[in-house]
Amino acid sequence: MSKKILVTGGCGYIGSHTVRELQRQNYDVVVFDNLVHGHLAAVEDAPVIIGDLLNPQEIRRVFVRHPDIAGVIHFAAYLEVGESMEQPGKYFRNNIQGTVNLLEAMLDAGVKHLVFSSTCAVYGTPERVPVTEEEPIKPESVYGASKRMAEQVMEWYDQVKGIRFTPLRYFNAAGASFDARIGDAYKPATRIIPVLMEYLLGQRERFFINGDDYPTPDGTCIRDYIHVDDLATAHIAALDYLWDGGESMAFNIGTGRGTSNMEIVDMVREVTGRDFEVEFGPRRPGDPVRIWADNTRAREVLGWKPRYGLREIIETSWLWHSTHPDGFG
């Protein structure tokens, strides 16, 4: 079997780390990216085809040029929750229609294995933690809904066309490569760790935490932060699972441990040796109090487990941001 993998959105944050891991494991990689949020500099030693999934012919030509593609890892999507609520059409059009165009191109090329970059946002505010794959699906944002709808599209293509797929519903991606060659270059930063890095580098005047009155030990909300390199290995494990005959199945990808916003602050102070002021603002509407993954299924079925914790996340984030204050710019 050919080991050539197409990675859509492979110039983005998680995509580029997955490309590097694929290369480390001796897969051939082809990247397809529209570079709206991706960076050519994030990919080395792999062909990058610039194109948009909303143009069906552009993605079809990739499979014609590379007829030995054996599987697809699909990252290409818009991902900002706030923006999705302001511009729902942008998210439904890109995240769903783009996926349909990819699936149709895969059908024409006879490619039947797809790993999908999904999200824990499909669960909305969970009824129980840790969150299992049996948690009710009730997204609370257009972004989360668009990802769930894309999963449903794949379910039908599995049922009527035989394309097997694994949606990886991961939690909070964080960290950077250990050699600081690639990292989270998304601008403007919206997630707490890169925002905090920018603050320490003098790129922000103030640092806010939204809410200090949650019913948690330190009053701040709790999330599951997983190192981006661990996400990369999960995608490859999922692809190998499909190649070995695995059925279409969703997997939660997280560490299985919750970390509060103040625990992040404390670890950043410890790793960087810097003290800094933290300001508190009101809670953001819709923010769950606590959410972290039950990763039992991924451990048992995929044979995957996370290798890194919060310290490695902060250490690699600080190394990346302090050596690349302007990202890839």
Q: How far apart are CA 249 and CA 297, in angstroms?
A: 10
Whether 91 is catalytic is no
Pull the structure tokens for residue 196: 């905090």
Chain centre distance of CA 262: 23
- For residue range 256-301, what is the model confidence (pLDDT) as tens digits? 999 999 999 999 999 999 999 999 999 987 788 999 999 999 999 9
Q: Where are the chain's structural domains?
A: 4-174+225-253, 192-224+256-323
Q: Which residue in 40, 113, 110 sits closest to 72, CA to CA?
A: 113
Dihedral pair phi/psi, residue 23, rounded to 5°: -65, -40
27, 143, 157, 170: the active-site residue: 143
pLDDT of residue 288: 84
- The domain made up of 4-174+225-253 has a fold known as Rossmann fold (3.40.50)
- Give me the residue label for tokens 């916003």: 261
**Mean pLDDT taken over the chain:** 96
Which of the following CATH numbers is that of domain 192-224+256-323: 3.40.309.10, 3.90.25.10, 3.40.30.10, 3.90.226.10? 3.90.25.10
pTM: 0.97
Q: Which of 232, 231, 252 lies closest to 301, judged by CA?
A: 252
The Cα 272–Cα 252 span in angstroms is: 31
207-221 pLDDT, tens digit per residue, is 999 999 999 999 999
